[in-house]
Amino acid sequence: MIDTDLPSTRPYLIRALHEWCTDGGFTPYIVVAVDERVQVPREFVRDGQIVLNVSFDATSGLRLGNDVVEFKARFGGVPREVVVPVDHVIAIYARENGRGMAFPAPQPAAPQTPTHRLQVVASEEVRESTDSAGAAPAETTTDGGDGSGRPPAPGGKRPTLTRIK
């Protein structure tokens, strides 16, 4: 079987980490790359990303499917329906300890010009803070693990996903 015939591991890993967070008493959050295919409240999108609390307490009808993550939730007291293609989930982590995993960013729908992208593939720690609405803007950076914001030296540590507010 060719690799292109295999289903993506991303939805399985998202479900596994969501279950791990829930079983451990942690709050699972996902970081989503937002484009026209993502149905989220646009007023909470920062730098093309949105961070969503996907705990059972914060959502209604949560479905972590192979193609989409969908649920209903309140944003600023207003009920909204959220639909996120699985390939737009770029990280899932526990709010309390930052443990989780990052995934490659989604491919653009129709690229106009070739670009070079740095993709963060995995993460051991995610740091986050939230604003008053419970949504936290997320920015991804790769650093050497020392918090300096500098990229790691060749042959250095693996990249980490660090949230900066």
Within 8 A by CB and 6+ apart from 8, the residues are: 66, 86, 87
165 inside domain: no
Instruction: Give the whole-angstrom CA distance, residue 142 versus residue 145.
Output: 8
Give the pLDDT confidence score for residue 38 in this predicted structure: 94
114 inside domain: no
- Whether residue 32 contacts residue 49, with contact meaning beta carbons closer than 8 Å, is answered with yes
pLDDT at 105 over 70: yes
> Domain count of the chain?
1
80 inside domain: yes
pLDDT at 100 over 70: yes
pLDDT at 129 over 60: no
Q: Is the dihedral of CA 85, 97, 20, 8 positive or negative?
A: positive
Within 8 A by CB and 6+ apart from 36, the residues are: 109
Instruction: Give the whole-angstrom CA distance, residue 89 versus residue 165.
Output: 20
The SS3 call for residue 123 is: coil
Give the pLDDT confidence score for residue 46 in this predicted structure: 93
32 inside domain: yes
